[in-house]
Amino acid sequence: MSTANPMFDLSGRTAIVTGAGRGLGAEMAKGLAAAGANVVVAARTPGGISATAKAITESGGMAHAITCDATDRGDVEHLIAESVERFGSLDIMVVNHGLGPAKDLLEVTDEDLDAVIGVNLNSAYLCAQLAGKQMIEQGKGGAIVITSSSASKIACWGYSYYGASKGGVDQLVRQLAQEWAPHGIRVNAINPGYTDNEMAGTGDVHDTPEVAEFIDRFIPFGRRGRAQEMARTRGLFGQRCSQLHDRSVPLRRWRLFSGLVGILVLVTHQLCLHFSG
Which residues does the annotation mark as catalytic?
Answer: 162, 166
Number of H helices, E strands in the chain: 9, 9
Considering only CA atoms, which of 4, 184, 170 is closest in space to residue 91?
Answer: 184
Per residue, the 3-state secondary structure of 82-106, as one string, reads: HHHHHHCCCCEEEECCCECCCCCHH
Helix (H) or strand (E) holding 218: helix 209-218
Among left, alpha and beta (phi > 0; psi -120 to 50; other), residue 10 is: alpha
Q: What is the DSSP string of 120-131?
A: IIIHHHHHHHHH
CA pair distance 62, 98, nearest whole angstrom: 25
